[in-house]
Amino acid sequence: MKLRFDESVESFRAELLGWLAANRPSAEEMAADPSVSTGHAPAWARRWTRTMFDAGWLVPGWPPELGGRNATPTQTLVYLEELARARVPRTSNVQGLGIVAPSIIDYGTPEQIEQYAMAILHGEATACLGMSEPDAGSDLASLRTRAVRDGDHFVVDGQKVWTSGANYADFCFLFCRTDPDVPKHKGISILLVDMDTPGITVRPLPEIVHPDHPDLNEVFFDSVRVPADRLVGELGAGWAMANGSLAHERGMVWVSAVQGIEEALARLLDEAPATTATLPPTEQALANDRIVQVAIDATAARCLGYRAFAKLARGGTAPEQALMKLFSSEVRQRVAEVAAEVQGPDALVTGEVAFDGHQAIDEPQGTWLEQYFQSFANTISAGTSEIQRTIIAERVLGLPREPRPT
Amino acid sequence: MDLELDTDQQELRDHARSFLADSCPPSLVRDLFEGRVIEGRVVEGRVVEGRGPADSGGLWSAMVELGWPALAAEVDHGGLGQGFVAEAVLASELGRVVAPGPYLATVTQFAPVLVAAGAAELLGRVSAGDLTGALALGAADASARADGDGWTLDGVKTHVLDGASAEEIAVVARLVGSRGHEGVGAFLVPRAAVAVEPLTVIDPTMPLATLRLDGVEVDGARVLLDPRDPASFDALEHVRRHATVAMALSGVATCRAIVEATVSYAKQRHQFGRPIGSFQAIKHRLADLYLAVERADALAWYAAVCLAEDDARLPVAAAMAKAALGDCQRLATRDGLQLHGGIGFTWEHDLHFLLKRATTTAFLLGGAEHHRAELARHLGLVA
């Protein structure tokens, strides 16, 4: 147990900070042309991805040929923290760099790696993740979009929904059913589908805040012909790959969420004395108490993340990991909720939305109340909070599964 | 920041856990709750001579034999120099099994005052297991008057842990007429010199007493922290934080034991043809309870490392740890009892030992609201 990392990690940090200072995009450059969707990479973001790749800073844990420097897990953790602290995005295409590229590298053919994964790593392409459907949300394995083999092509028909960044992405990492006659987890495969293929219709779904900058979409597939060599991994192995791909940078996905919480909390602590100055003392004390409670949550989130990380870094398992998604998304929501309520009716005034580009577009931004509404993206997507609680109860606490309806 | 025990610390935890499983079984705790005399109890196959009423069946004697009071203490103080993380490991293992005895009061509350005072000789006796002590905090409750070379103390100290059994009490008192950070000091008072009223409390493993000081005369050699020294206030704040962090660690471990007991019960108990733990209503409550324990536990260990490394973040970390213990105790007590149903409501079941211990640790040394108010100041929300 110790508060500081050892020398080798600190010298890694120093090297990174020196390189960032010399090479990072400026705040002005980012704000002038911010990303407006997780599938949208403005010109500066594409250059920045390439610059990081060439210098081995894009995915530090990978070897140099994949844009890394064989960094240790602890070094990678420090890297993620320092990028967030410097308010530089690692990428605007979070799902492309975080899930799609690593999955293709793990399971794809050399041609797929070259054409699709490397394009993401070079900043030349963005990807979206075609998972949820109207009748397959939390129960993803029930998805019905089907791909039928026809000669040297698959023909895809169906509909995806909540597809982040599909309105800008160059290709889709598409989960589809290739065998309707086997148990539902076994008939799912993954295809790489170019978004400009005929038969694809993308309909953006403006959200409850910032409707001018939709990130979520419905995607319709109508007899879309996809070359058979775009099948990733084995036919029918899509479900296993979906689970495997989430293990990339294992134990570190919490870093940006916690940094987002801390950034929001710092702003709240900074504003609060002025906001509450005119309140009667009792009301002020009640407001302060609520702020303190989220401050405790924020510190706890970081401590839980570090502890999970320490356990994984020692080769063990970390039940805390299962908690991080639930806890960090709910804390982020509480920070915005408390901040808006402390503001009172002033919270109702919406301003001009000015994204400054330093966060991915799916992070809560704007006024406190807008942040509050937007924070539900993270308590609903990627497994709702309710699903997370069930996962914690069953996989961490070992409680018996609910009997399947007969 | 590395918030996981290293190999030596894990080994200490495993040893402590296996020792306590043998030496502090629920039957020992039950003996205490049911008021049976348990001195001279057989421990590990041999009769151990008791060390007084706080010895609880020779448990303390056995801990002394293992060197536990010396483990964290500095080598200059007769200790083994393993630092606060080792102390934290023991405090939490004791909380896990609701262990009675002088460890919390003597090692985590009394000894830190001696450290602040540089009282090496007394610390040597604590490390050797030859001296037990208690800490009577709260400067507002007692006054100190200079009297020649010595001092005269007056006042009433409430809820003093081990106040009726400790040999020496570190009494915090304030110079007559002083205010704020000025005039606060600590004095070493033999228990025999004060009027002790043991309280009948809900958890006999954490015995509390009221101490009445009625013109108690203390000679100059027994001043631990001189009230005329402006540094004494901060020194006592550090002592209070040390005690608070240890209490938080111990209490969270008790809460974790409640979660484990409740999860295990939910797997065994069947209703409507299935384990009650398969119902989502139960699952989600247990997931939230588990989260509350992990939250408090992570904060308690963070505070422990801040204390061990003498880091400037200690005041915030300690207050957060104790506030989070309060949150998790409230949930653990409520849901632990509720989800056990009728059986957990019976005296015969061991669950209530855990519930009462957890509640005691949460309420002593400032509850959640107290520490949140302190945090509001630390975080700059109020002056």
Helix (H, G, I), strand (E, B) or coil at A101: helix
CB B38, CB B56: distance < 8 Å: yes
Q: Is A124 in the active site?
A: no
Regions in chain B scoring below 70 on pLDDT: 37-54
Give the lowest-confidence range in A149-163, A195-209, A310-324. Answer: A310-324
Task: Return the pLDDT at A243.
Answer: 72
Q: C-alpha distances in angstroms, B3 versus A4, A161, B298, B303, B329?
A: 10, 40, 8, 10, 22
How far B341 CA sits from the closest chain A CA (Å)?
17
Q: Which residues on chain A are in Cβ contact (under 8 Å) with B3? A: 1, 303, 306-307, 310
Same domain for A256 and A379, yes or no, is yes
Same domain for A78 and A210, yes or no, is no
Task: Return the pLDDT at B344.
Answer: 96
A124 phi/psi in degrees, rounded to 5: -95, -20
Give the one of B305, B309, B380 whose C-beta lies nearest to A269's C-beta. B380
Could you tell me what percent of chain A has a pLDDT over 70?
97
Task: Return the pLDDT at B50.
Answer: 44
- Tell me which chain A residue has its CA closest to the CA of residue B84: A1
CB contact, 8 Å: B260 with chain A? Answer: no
In a domain, A302, yes or no: yes
In a domain, A178, yes or no: yes
CB A123, CB A48: distance < 8 Å: yes
Q: Do B287 and A393 touch (CB under 8 A)?
A: yes
CATH number at residue A284: 1.20.140.10
CB contact, 8 Å: B306 with chain A? Answer: yes
Question: Which residue in A138, A299, A304 has the most chain B C-beta atoms within 10 A of its own C-beta, making it the best mutation to test that interface?
Answer: A299
Same domain for A138 and A196, yes or no, is yes
How far B57 CA sits from the closest chain A CA (Å)?
34
pLDDT tens by residue, A216-225: 999 999 999 9
As a whole number of angstroms, the distance between CA A7 and CA A356 comes to 34
Same domain for A338 and A385, yes or no, is yes
pLDDT tens by residue, B155-186: 999 999 999 999 999 999 999 999 999 999 99
In a domain, A244, yes or no: no
Q: Do B373 and A304 touch (CB under 8 A)?
A: no
Which pLDDT band, with edges at 50, 70 and 90, does A394 fall under?
Answer: very high
How far B47 CA sits from the closest chain A CA (Å)?
38
As a whole number of angstroms, the distance between CA B109 and CA B125 comes to 15
Task: Return the pLDDT at B43.
Answer: 41
Give the one of A292, A303, A394 whose C-beta lies nearest to B376's C-beta. A292
CB contact, 8 Å: B278 with chain A? Answer: yes
Give the one of B287, B295, B382 whose C-beta lies nearest to A389's C-beta. B287
> In what helix (H) or strand (E) does residue B163 lie, and over which residues does it extend?
none
Q: Which residues on chain A are in Cβ contact (under 8 Å) with B309? A: 2-3
pLDDT tens by residue, A120-177: 999 999 999 999 999 998 788 899 999 999 999 999 999 999 999 999 999 999 999 9
Rounded to the nearest integer, the mean pLDDT of chain A is 92
Which of A217, A238, A259 delimits the end of a domain?
A238
Give the lowest-confidence range in A55-59, A115-119, A251-255, B71-75. Answer: A251-255
Q: Which residues on chain A are in Cβ contact (under 8 Å) with B305? A: 1-3
Same domain for A358 and A313, yes or no, is yes
In a domain, A403, yes or no: no
CB contact, 8 Å: B84 with chain A? Answer: no
- Tell me which chain B residue has its CA closest to the CA of residue A387: B284
Q: Do A292 and B279 touch (CB under 8 A)?
A: no
Q: What is the CA radius of gyration of chain A?
A: 22
Task: Return the pLDDT at A78.
Answer: 92
- The domains located in chain B, with CATH, are 7-127 (1.10.540.10), 133-231 (2.40.110.10), 232-378 (1.20.140.10)
Same domain for A280 and A350, yes or no, is yes
pLDDT tens by residue, A6-64: 888 999 999 999 999 999 999 999 999 988 889 999 999 999 999 999 999 999 999 99
Q: Which residues on chain A are in Cβ contact (under 8 Å) with B372? A: 289, 292-293, 296
Q: Do B324 and A296 touch (CB under 8 A)?
A: yes
Which of 102-141 (B) contact A at CB < 8 A? Answer: none
B175 phi/psi in degrees, rounded to 5: -60, 135
As a whole number of angstroms, the distance between CA B320 and CA B332 comes to 18
CATH number at residue A60: 1.10.540
Same domain for A68 and A199, yes or no, is no
Can you spell out the DSSP letters for A352-403? -----SSS-TTS--SSHHHHHHHHHHHHHSSS-HHHHHHHIIIIIS-PPPPP
How far B352 CA sits from the closest chain A CA (Å)?
22
Same domain for A154 and A134, yes or no, is yes
Q: Do A289 and B379 touch (CB under 8 A)?
A: no
Tokens for B345, please give them: 């409501």
Same domain for A273 and A234, yes or no, is no
B212-217: long-range contacts (C-beta < 8 A, 24 or more apart)?
B212/B156, B213/B142, B213/B153, B213/B154, B213/B155, B213/B156, B213/B157, B213/B171, B213/B173, B213/B189, B214/B154, B215/B152, B215/B153, B215/B154, B216/B152, B216/B153, B216/B154, B216/B189, B217/B147, B217/B150, B217/B151, B217/B152, B217/B153
Which pLDDT band, with edges at 50, 70 and 90, does A353 fall under?
Answer: low
Question: Which residue in A302, A399, A401, A406 has the most chain B C-beta atoms within 10 A of its own C-beta, making it the best mutation to test that interface?
Answer: A399
Count of CA atoms in the C-beta half-sphere (13 A) of B59: 29
Q: State in Å, rounded, how far the first CA of chain B is from the last one.
A: 30
In a domain, A98, yes or no: no
Task: Return the pLDDT at A166.
Answer: 97
A188, pLDDT greater than 50: yes
- Tell me which chain B residue has its CA closest to the CA of residue A309: B2
As a whole number of angstroms, the distance between CA B368 and CA B376 comes to 12
Count of CA atoms in the C-beta half-sphere (13 A) of B247: 32
Which of A207, A238, A269 delimits the end of a domain?
A238
Could you tell me what percent of chain A has a pLDDT over 90?
74
At residue B284, what is the residue type? H
Q: Measured at the alpha carbon of residue A238, what is the angle toward residues A237 and A244, in degrees to the nearest 5?
A: 95
Q: How many helices and strands (H and E) does chain B possess?
A: 12, 12
At residue A338, what is the residue type? V
Residue with tokens 């939230």, as numbered in its chain: B288
Nearest CA among B293, B232, B366, B229 for reference residue B96: B293
Tokens for B244, please give them: 């608070």
3-state secondary structure B14-64: HHHHHHHHHHCCHHHHHHHHCCCCCCCCEECCEECCCCCHHHCCCHHHHHH
Give the one of B267, B288, B294 whose C-beta lies nearest to A399's C-beta. B267
Annotated active-site residue in A133, A249, A263, A320:
A249
Q: Is the dihedral of CA A320, A326, A332, A338 positive or negative?
A: negative
pLDDT tens by residue, B113-159: 999 999 999 999 999 999 999 999 987 789 999 988 899 999 999 99
CB contact, 8 Å: B383 with chain A? Answer: no
Same domain for A138 and A229, yes or no, is yes
Instruction: Provide mean pLDDT across the span A340-350.
Output: 94
Helix (H, G, I), strand (E, B) or coil at B214: strand
A151 phi/psi in degrees, rounded to 5: 65, -125
Q: Which residues on chain A are in Cβ contact (under 8 Å) with B288? A: 389
Question: Which residue in B291, B310, B322 has the most chain A C-beta atoms within 10 A of its own C-beta, making it the best mutation to test that interface?
Answer: B291
Which of A238, A268, A299 delimits the end of a domain?
A238
Which pLDDT band, with edges at 50, 70 and 90, does A241 fall under?
Answer: confident
Domain tally, chain A: 3
Task: Return the pLDDT at B42.
Answer: 39
A244, pLDDT greater than 70: no
A353 phi/psi in degrees, rounded to 5: -75, 120
In a domain, A341, yes or no: yes
Nearest CA among B169, B104, B105 for reference residue B136: B169
Instruction: Provide mean pLDDT across the span A334-357.
Output: 88
Q: Find residue A188's DSSP bridge partners.
A: A177, A237
Q: Do A399 and B323 touch (CB under 8 A)?
A: no
Same domain for A75 and A134, yes or no, is no
In a domain, A243, yes or no: no
Residue with tokens 């993206």, as numbered in its chain: A377
Same domain for A168 and A222, yes or no, is yes
- Domain boundaries, position A162: 127-238
Q: Which residues on chain A are in Cβ contact (under 8 Å) with B9? A: 1
As a whole number of angstroms, the distance between CA B112 and CA B237 comes to 11
Tokens for B206, please give them: 């954490």
In a domain, A401, yes or no: no
How far B49 CA sits from the closest chain A CA (Å)?
37
CB contact, 8 Å: B298 with chain A? Answer: yes
- Tell me which chain B residue has its CA closest to the CA of residue A401: B278
Tokens for B237, please give them: 């704040």
Q: Which residues on chain A are in Cβ contact (under 8 Å) with B316? A: 299
Contacts of B233 (CB under 8 A, 6+ apart): B181, B182, B184
CB contact, 8 Å: B6 with chain A? Answer: yes
Q: Do B4 and A311 touch (CB under 8 A)?
A: yes
Q: At what angle do helices A281-313 and B314-340 cross, to 10 degrees?
A: 90
CATH number at residue A181: 2.40.110.10
